[in-house]
Amino acid sequence: MRKRVIAGNWKMYKTRDEAISFIYEVAKVIPDRDLVETVICAPSIMLRDLVKREDEHLRIGAQNMSQHEEGAYTGEVSAKMLTSYGVEYVVVGHSERRDYFHENDAIINAKTKQALQHDLTPIVCVGESLETRELNQTNTFVKEQILNAYEGLSTEDALKTIIAYEPIWAIGTGKTATKEQANETIKFIRETISERFDAITAEDIRILYGGSVKPNNIDELLAMSDIDGALVGGASLDSQSFLKLVEAALK
Residue ranges in contact with ligand 13P by CB under 6 A: 9, 94, 166, 171-172, 210-213, 231-235
Q: Which residues, at least 6 apart from 57, have a Cβ–Cβ distance to it below 8 Å?
A: 27, 30, 31, 32, 33, 38
State which residue, 67 or 212, has the beta carbon closest to ligand 13P. Answer: 212
- Between 3 and 175, whose beta carbon lies closer to ligand 13P? 175
Helical packing angle, 16-27 and 44-53, nearest 10°: 30
Residue nearest to ligand 13P (CB): 233
94 is catalytic: yes
DSSP readout, 163-219? Answer: EEE--GGGTTSS-PPPHHHHHHHHHHHHHHHHHHS-HHHHHHSEEEEESS--TTTHH
From the candidates 54, 57, 94, 118, give the one annotated as an active-site residue. 94
166 is catalytic: yes
- Minimum CB separation of residue 194 from ligand 13P in Å reads 25
What's the closest the beta carbon of residue 231 comes to ligand 13P, in angstroms? 5
Q: Give the span between the Cα atoms of 166 and 68, in whole angstroms.
A: 25
For the bound state, the minimum distance from the C-beta of residue 152 to ligand 13P, rounded and expressed in Å, comes to 25
Q: Provide the sign of the torsion angle of the four alpha carbons 118, 123, 126, 130, taken in this order.
A: negative
Least distance (Å) between residue 4 CB and ligand 13P? 16
Name the residue nearer to ligand 13P (CB basis): 115 or 197.
115
Q: Which is nearer to ligand 13P, 51 or 91 (CB)?
A: 91
DSSP state at residue 102: -
- Catalytic residue numbers read 94, 166
